[in-house]
Amino acid sequence: MLPGDLSSRACVCHAGLDVRLHQSGTSVLQAPRISKHGNKYLRRALFLPALAAVQHDPHAKAFKQRLLARGKQKMQANVAVMRKLLTAAWALVRYPDVYDGAKLYLTPKEA
């Protein structure tokens, strides 16, 4: 059980879905990756729900398509959906309400 005073960013870090940069001086700049320093079971538990959300939630599908159109890899887009689902689940635990995918996956016109 996570403490109730965590922010959504801290919850994402706990799951290991935060971005890790690797840079050494000016010559080494590798592509950013997820840190994987968090709970591997939580990351594993979020993978299939993210795939199901992309398949059945039109807002999640549009979000993934926007990321793919911007040149992201499929796995990067899936991890982005996993992160969105985790922040939504954490928000629903802290502030009980009805899940609304339109609020979670804002389109650029709405933002």
Residue 6 has pLDDT above 90, yes or no: no
Q: For residue range 57-91, what is the model confidence (pLDDT) as tens digits? A: 999 999 999 999 999 999 999 999 999 999 888 88
CB atoms within 10 A of CB 57: 19
Query: Hey, where are the domains in the chain?
Result: 8-104
Q: What are phi and psi of 76, to 5 degrees?
A: -65, -40
Find, among 18, 20, 23, the residue nearest to 42 by Cα. Answer: 18
Segment 90-111 shows an average pLDDT of 78
Taking residue 63's Cβ as centre, other Cβ atoms within 10 Å add up to 22
**Token output for 81:** 């959906």
Q: Output the CA torsion sign for 87, 56, 80, 106.
A: negative
**Is the torsion defined by CA of 43, 48, 75, 56 positive or negative?**
negative
Task: Give the CA diameter of the chain.
Answer: 48
Of 21-30, 49-58, 86-95, the poorest mean pLDDT is in 21-30
Between residues 110 and 74, the one the model is more confident about: 74
Residue 102 above 90 pLDDT? no
What pTM was estimated for this model as a whole? Answer: 0.80
Tokens of 5: 């005073």
